[in-house]
Amino acid sequence: METTLLPVAPEDEGARLDSFISAHMEGVTRSAAARLLAEGQVLLNGKTAAKSARVAAGDTVSVTQSEPVETELAAQDIPLSIVYEDADVIVVDKPVGLVVHPAPGHADGTLVNALLHHCGDSLSGIGGEKRPGIVHRIDRDTSGLIIAAKNDAAHQHLAAQLADHTLARTYECIAVGNIRDDAGTINAPIGRHKTDRKRMAVTPDGRAAVTHYEVIARYAGFTHLRCRLETGRTHQIRVHLAHIGHPIWGDTVYGAKKAVAGLTGQCLHAVGLRFIHPRTGELVECSSPLPEEFVRALGKLREI
């Protein structure tokens, strides 16, 4: 059995329950969500509900899936760069190329496998059997800070912070082209691409997505940005910057047609993470320096 908790954010207010589940759970279609509801596998604030029920900000949706797990996760001795750790949470500086959790094509060798080796049984079970402890994700080809929960109480607390934006994530990136304004906000809904289901896109029927940015430095044909997420949609910064005509340098999905020499993945790094500690209530702030590839890329731009 795998149970996933989905906190309802303000931007999801009024959504149908089956649509909300489909939008928040990868690989779960609206019809599959309806079946789970019909089978009593979904609870809205601890009670069964109809698929047509509407969710409200602050609600919690619990989804239990009884399908057997294809493979048992293995603990693997994969090196971790740990930025912060205590009995409740662990913050890791993820390198480019490391997948966060097992998925088709990546059965092992993931951050989850590494966390299982490092933490043993001390990981939250809320993320499910394939995603123990995972509170949020960053792309395989994006580097930087990611937080995982070591127990269910911590996971629930951090998930609520994601929903109300008190868990703050800051990124730096290199965008192609000269962005005119020194600071700005991109407010454009994001959903699945209509023809390529592996990609995301700005679409009228997508979910609300807001990215704030400010210019750090300008170079010939490139802009070094700091971005702050107000929402956390899949590929959000990458999609938003491509949408305004300034894709991230090295992004072969939303920007360049081929990889940039000297770069592994895109120049996008999670530099900052701020959250309220789930046990002590104290503010915790973590930071990560730019990786070597990112620094070398900036060095090349300075020489142009």
Contact indicator for 231, 164 with CB cutoff of 8 Å: no
Q: What per-residue string of b and e applies to 212-222 under the rule 16 or more CB within 10 Å gives b?
A: ebebeeeeeeb
Contact indicator for 272, 285 with CB cutoff of 8 Å: yes
Instruction: Kindly give the pairing relationship between strand 268-276 and strand 143-149.
Output: parallel
Residue 62, CB-side half-sphere exposure with 13 Å CA sphere: 13
Q: Is 294 helix (H, G, I), strand (E, B) or coil?
A: helix
Nearest Cα neighbor of 302 from 217, 180, 226 is 217
φ, ψ for residue 147 (rounded to 5)? Answer: -110, 145
Q: How far apart are CA 161 and CA 168, in angstroms?
A: 9
Annotated active-site residue 139? The verdict is yes
Instruction: Kindly give the pairing relationship between strand 2-7 and strand 143-149.
Output: unpaired
Catalytic pick from 12, 139, 141, 251?
139
Number of helical (H) and strand (E) elements in the chain, helices listed first: 6, 15
DSSP label at 284?
A: E
Task: Kindly state the tokens that stand for 204.
Answer: 């009228």
Q: How far apart are CA 152 and CA 278, in angstroms?
A: 11
Q: Which residues have a catalytic role annotated?
A: 139
